[in-house]
Amino acid sequence: MTITVPARVTTTRHRSAFVLLGGVQTTLIFTLAALAVPLPLIGHEFDLERADLILLSASYGLTFAGLLLFGGRLADRYGGRQALTAGLVLFATASAAAPLATGIGALLAARLAQGAGAALIAPAAMAVLRAVFPSPTAYGRAMATWGGLSVLGATAGNLLSGVISALLSWRWTFAVPLLVAVAALALTPRLLPDTAPSRDRTLDLPGALLATGGITLACYGLVLTDARPWSSAGVLLPLLGGTALLAAFLYAERRARDPLLPPGFLLDRRRAHALTATALSACGTAMTFVVLSLHLQQARDWSPMETSAAFVPFAAALIASGRAAGPLIGRYGARAVTATGLGTGAAGLTLLALTGLDARTPYLYGLLPGLVLLPAGAAASFAGTAVLATEGVPQRQTGLAGGVLNTAMEVGPTVVFAVLLTLGGDAWSLAATGAALAVVALLCHRTK
């Protein structure tokens, strides 16, 4: 995993701090994607049913997404470095326990704990990043690079997990998050500045419980649509329960003295468009990994190693676009780069939908063009949306901004993926996501 340092970051300390924080952020998403390819191997070893595999696949993301807003509040309340350290301890402990699991129960508990640690780490890392780059200009440049780290982590997770599982065992995939977390704990006191806590802020525990319960239940219900019909009690009950809790959360936040999510925070048009673009871009990349991994292994009878190799151009385009995004944002602005990235990603998804899912189409001109255009556009859009979503946010709300941005990145794919795959087939879903990206590109381009 290559972490690109923002342009014009001159001091060694700043470079080291950014590499440390960027490596941690990339690892969080690497861990999210790490079990995608070896999941069938785990199912065979533990003799799991399809429902067990679905729950195991979603477990990390459920606690990650559900606790992000509260994690952001904790980072703002107690200080980013303190929250980061606590999250890393939990994340490292869970990563050490996961490969020792002898059954689904222990592995599931470890994945849930990993997600909880990640929900504290992600917004805390953004709060510390703000302390590393206190100047708005420098922070904007840093965020332009930061935006592409998540999709880089997802790509690395899909590529490396297949290789590690084929050469060693799926259990060794947990060595990456464990080593990164331990290294980050050792380096944090030396490289990262202390961050002032906001002691005057309350934790808004009622809001945290409602938001966490609502997001987790709703996402759990959506995940189950892969195996059960929407009308089944197993899907409807968590969906309705989650929706009710989220409605109660919005009502409670309007009356709270110090709300977890201030109602006006999402009303800024640029921020709303940026979060929508983040959710759709994350959905497009996640859907591509899932759909193409299944297509290549089932329809084309490729091995996990060959499937991972097919995404190497995806990773190369992603890194190249990520390196170029920062300077382009400095020259043309975040809004223009975001709109261009969304349009490019939409073109890549459309090509994959039209030609990539035909088993008779050669890889070179059936899959490769889409596998280059999509990541190039996604990296640019993630970079631009990270800048737009955090622009103008006061320092005391940096953790909140990080929680909201990461929530859009985690919840968005779950919602859109479940709905689209229910309404149509794989090709239709890719095309529909591409069309949605194109629409949001126009909205971002017109936003003042």
Amino acid letter, residue 367 = L
Residue 203 lies in a domain: no
Residue 429 lies in a domain: yes
Q: Residue 420 has what pLDDT?
A: 65
Do 246 and 299 fall within a single domain? no
Domain count of the fold of the chain: 2
Q: Residue 446 has what pLDDT?
A: 64
Do 289 and 420 fall within a single domain? yes
Residue 270 lies in a domain: yes
Residue range 68-80: mean pLDDT, rounded: 86
Q: Is residue 359 a contact partner of residue 299, using CB atoms and an 8 Å limit?
A: yes
Do 130 and 214 fall within a single domain? no
Q: Is residue 173 a contact partner of residue 160, using CB atoms and an 8 Å limit?
A: yes
pTM of the model: 0.81
C-alpha distance from residue 354 to each of 195, 227, 441 (Å): 50, 26, 21
Residue 196 lies in a domain: no
Do 51 and 77 fall within a single domain? yes
Residue 200 lies in a domain: no
Do 230 and 90 fall within a single domain? no
Position 9 confidence tier, pLDDT thresholds 50, 70, 90: very low
- Where a domain ends, among 259, 277, 300? 259
Do 305 and 320 fall within a single domain? yes
Residue 198: Cβ within 10 Å count: 18
* Angle between helical axes of 368-390 and 334-351 (0-180°, round to 10): 150
C-alpha distance from residue 74 to each of 70, 201, 406 (Å): 6, 10, 15
The predicted-structure confidence for 101-129, as pLDDT tens digits, reads as follows 999 999 999 999 999 999 999 999 988 98
Do 100 and 224 fall within a single domain? no
Q: What is the CATH number of the domain that holds 62?
A: 1.20.1250.20
- Where a domain ends, among 236, 259, 282? 259
What is the spatial distance between Cα 316 and Cα 156, in angstroms, rounded to a whole number? 11
The answer to whether residue 248 scores a pLDDT higher than 80 is yes
Which of these, 355, 354, 363, 349, lies nearest to 441 by C-alpha position? Answer: 349
Residue 204 lies in a domain: no
Residue range 7-12: mean pLDDT, rounded: 56
What is the spatial distance between Cα 254 and Cα 391, in angstroms, rounded to a whole number? 24
In the 8-state DSSP scheme, what is residue 99? Answer: G
Q: Is residue 308 a contact partner of residue 37, using CB atoms and an 8 Å limit?
A: yes
Do 45 and 86 fall within a single domain? yes
C-alpha distance from residue 90 to each of 121, 274, 417 (Å): 10, 31, 29
Give residue 137's domain range.
12-191+260-446
Please report which residue ranges of 257-333 form alpha helices under DSSP H.
269-294, 304-310, 312-332
Do 429 and 338 fall within a single domain? yes
Do 251 and 273 fall within a single domain? no
Do 283 and 425 fall within a single domain? yes
The predicted-structure confidence for 385-420, as pLDDT tens digits, reads as follows 888 888 877 777 777 788 888 888 877 777 766 666
- Where a domain ends, among 259, 275, 294? 259
Residue 374 lies in a domain: yes
Do 42 and 55 fall within a single domain? yes
Residue 186 lies in a domain: yes
The predicted-structure confidence for 155-214, as pLDDT tens digits, reads as follows 788 778 878 888 888 899 999 999 999 999 999 999 998 877 766 667 778 888 888 888
